Each structure stands twice: as structure tokens, then as C-alpha cells.
Amino acid sequence: MPVPDFIVELRRHIGHAPLWLSGITAVVLRPAPGLPAAPGNRELLMVQRADNGRWTPVTGIVDPGEHPAAAAEREVLEEARVTCRVDRLAWVSVTVPVEHVNGDRAQYLDHCFACTWLSGDPAVGDDESLATGWFPLTDLPPLQPVFRARLAAVLADDPVTRLDPAPPELPSYVRVAQED
């Protein structure tokens, strides 16, 4: 489901006006098949976004009343057909304001979770993604800086959650499909 029902309902009332939303990034890792167990011998679950073609970890919106960790597990199952376990909250950050390709404006309080793969082979689960797959940490497709930073926070394996300050004031919204 590309846009949660509660947002569709809100948008009927407020149009494209900015929304403050809770989001998740699920950094799902598994041991690389056929390699000895080692921190660098892991694979990252990624999805190729339908709106801009970029490869990212699984991201999504927290539903009203839903715990962010439960949202991460749900989004991974919905978008990639993989079951995972949330191990820890690695990073909390406020995104820059974004303008989605449909004109909707939003800003997100993102909860980045370190997750472990439990079962399932990646498959496209909804129309938000064009493809899914496992990628060796040593051979990832190009990642936007924000996703490289989130991955680094997970790989640091720090038991303390990283808390980022709010982004600087920007003159306008950043379009999601904009190239970096």
C-alpha cells in the first residue's frame, strides 16, 4: 500500500500542506551465504523504489498507535516479503522537509532500526518497489548519503542510539525524486 489510509484521509482535508510523520528505516542484515561468519560477511536487504528508481533499505510510515519497531517488521514483510527481527534502535533523526512526486509535503521523525533476517526470500510485495534483493556489504548499489549514514550507524553496533539534531533551515522542500 503506497500511501496509508490515514494519510489519504488527512490529505482530503489539508491537500498538499506539510505533515509531520513518524517513519522507519529497517536495515535488515543476514550472513552472506557460503562465507565464514564475520561482521563484513553480511548482506543488506534493499528495495528499488518505484518513485525514483533508487535502491534503499526498507522505509515506511508508522501507522497511528503502532510501535515504530512493529512498523519496521511490518514494512519489511509488506515491501520485501521477508520476516525480520528488530534488534535495536540505531538512530533517530529528523529528515529534511520533502516534497513527494505527487506534490504532498512532509517531514519525518525517522527511527532507524538494526534488524536481523529470520526467513523468506525477497520479492516485491507492493507497488512501492520495482525490485528487491540481498547485496553484499562490499558491493552495494549507489546509496544516498542519508542511507549510507544510517547503514554506518547500524554497522557501528553501538548500544547507544544516535540522536541527530534537526536539519538546518532550508529555503524549500527537497523533492524525493531529485538527484543528489
% of the chain beyond a pLDDT of 90: 68
CATH value at residue 105: 3.90.79.10
- The pLDDT of 122-134, averaged and rounded, is 95
User: So what's the pLDDT on residue 68?
Assistant: 98
Predicted confidence (pLDDT) per residue in 39-74, tens digit: 778 999 999 999 889 999 999 999 999 999 999 999
> How many domains does one find in the chain?
1
Task: Please report, for residues 62, 88, 94, 155, 159, the alpha-carbon distance to residue 162 in angstroms, rounded to integers and kept in the order given.
Answer: 20, 11, 12, 12, 9
Question: Is there a domain that residue 163 lies in?
Answer: no
Identify whether 16 is part of a domain.
no
Cβ 113 vs Cβ 150: under 8 Å: no
Domain that holds residue 112: 37-155
Tell how far CA 126 is from the center of its chain: 15
Confidence of residue 166 (pLDDT cuts 50, 70, 90): low
Would you say residue 178 has pLDDT above 70?
no
* 20 burial type by CB count under 10 A (0-12 exposed, 13-18 middle, 19+ buried): exposed
